[in-house]
Amino acid sequence: MDYMIEDVMESLVEQGGSDMHIQAGAPIYFRVNGKLGPQPQFGESLAPDECQRLIFSMLNNNQRKDLEQNWELDCAYGVKGLSRFRVNVYRERGCFAACLRALASQIPNFDKLGVPEIMREMAMRPRGMVLITGQTGSGKTTTLAAILDLINRTRAEHILTVEDPIEYVFPNVKSLFHQRQKGEDTKSFGNALKAALREDPDIILVGEMRDLETISLAISAAETGHLLFGT
Alpha-helical runs (H) found in the chain: 5-14, 48-56, 61-70, 110-113, 117-123, 140-154, 189-196, 212-223
For strand 203-206 and strand 72-79, is the pairing parallel, antiparallel, or unpaired? unpaired
Give the whole-angstrom CA distance, residue 5 versus residue 163: 24
Q: What is the pLDDT of residue 175?
A: 98
Q: What is the pLDDT of residue 134?
A: 87
Q: What is the pLDDT of residue 55?
A: 98
Q: What is the pLDDT of residue 1?
A: 65
pTM, to two decimals:
0.80
Q: What is the pLDDT of residue 139?
A: 84
End-to-end CA distance of the chain: 41
Q: What is the pLDDT of residue 222?
A: 93
Spell out the SS3 assignment of 140-183.
HHHHHHHHHHHHHHHCCCEEEEEECCCCCCCCCCCCEEEEEEEC
Q: What is the pLDDT of residue 31?
A: 96
Per-residue pLDDT in tens (0 to 9) along the chain, 231 residues: 689 999 999 999 999 999 999 999 999 999 999 999 999 999 999 999 999 999 999 999 999 999 999 999 999 999 988 999 999 999 999 999 999 999 887 888 998 888 888 999 999 999 999 999 988 778 898 999 999 999 999 999 999 999 988 989 999 999 999 999 988 899 889 999 999 999 999 999 998 888 899 999 999 999 999 999 998
What are φ and ψ of residue 176, in 5° steps? Answer: -105, 125
Sign of the C-alpha dihedral, residues 100, 176, 194, 126?
negative
Please give the domain boundaries of the chain with CATH numbers for all domains: 5-102 (3.30.450.90), 110-230 (3.40.50.300)
